[in-house]
Amino acid sequence: MAIVVNKPLPEFEANATGGIKVTNTSHTGQILILYFYPKDNTPGCTTEAMQFRDKYKDFVKAGATVFGVSRDNMKSHDDFKAKLELPFELIADTEEKMCHMFGVVKNKIMYGKKVKGIERSTFLVGPDGLLAQEWRGLKVPGHVDEVLKAVKAIKAQDKKVA
């Protein structure tokens, strides 16, 4: 099933660092950010993780939970998390179930060879469990600020409704 803006997420279950299980309904009532990145300890992914880390308190204040997602295993994630002192958990999607579900596995050309890689993408899920916004094939500079702005807009909308 495809991921569609303004629709609920399809059913999934994944394991994250810290012994946390994440499902399509585990964070209902909260704003959920799932950011997919290619690989732990690579330059762009390290920069992106540090930017989410540095703005983490702002995300929490706005009512959001952040998860990074990649194909790396739990040990790699634990090491990456410890090295960068990340305050949020990382999902180990070693079988690429979430990556395929969210449609972030793309053919890329690396060093002249075709490889399947993860397209850097972020998904913002509202407290109602509906996909509110998506960013695909994004560039790291300025992206985390853009996501935070979108989270604050959802939070402001929720306050009006309440």
State pLDDT tens for residues 80-129: 999 999 999 999 999 999 999 999 998 877 678 888 889 999 999 999 99
Structure tokens at 14: 């994944």
Q: What is the pTM of this model?
A: 0.92
Type of residue found at 72: D
pLDDT in the model for residue 4: 80
Are the CB atoms for 23 and 151 separated by under 8 Å? no
Contacts of residue 12, defined as CB under 8 A and 6 or more positions apart, other chains included, come to: 23, 24, 97, 98, 101
Average pLDDT (1-5) is: 73
Contacts of residue 102, defined as CB under 8 A and 6 or more positions apart, other chains included, come to: 3, 34, 36, 121, 123
Residue 133 has pLDDT above 80, yes or no: yes
* Cα distance between residue 105 and residue 142, in whole Å: 23
Candidates 101, 76, 104, 100; CA nearest to 90 is 76
Residue 31 has pLDDT above 80, yes or no: yes
Categorize the per-residue pLDDT at 1 as very low, low, confident or very high, splitting at 50, 70 and 90: low
pLDDT digits (tens, 9 = 90+) for 134-147: 999 889 999 999 99
Catalytic residue among 45, 124, 148, 150: 45
Are the CB atoms for 135 and 35 separated by under 8 Å? no
Is residue 99 part of the annotated active site? The answer reads: no
Residue 33 has pLDDT above 90, yes or no: yes
Q: Which residue has the tokens 């609920």?
A: 8
pLDDT digits (tens, 9 = 90+) for 36-69: 999 999 999 999 999 999 999 999 999 999 999 9
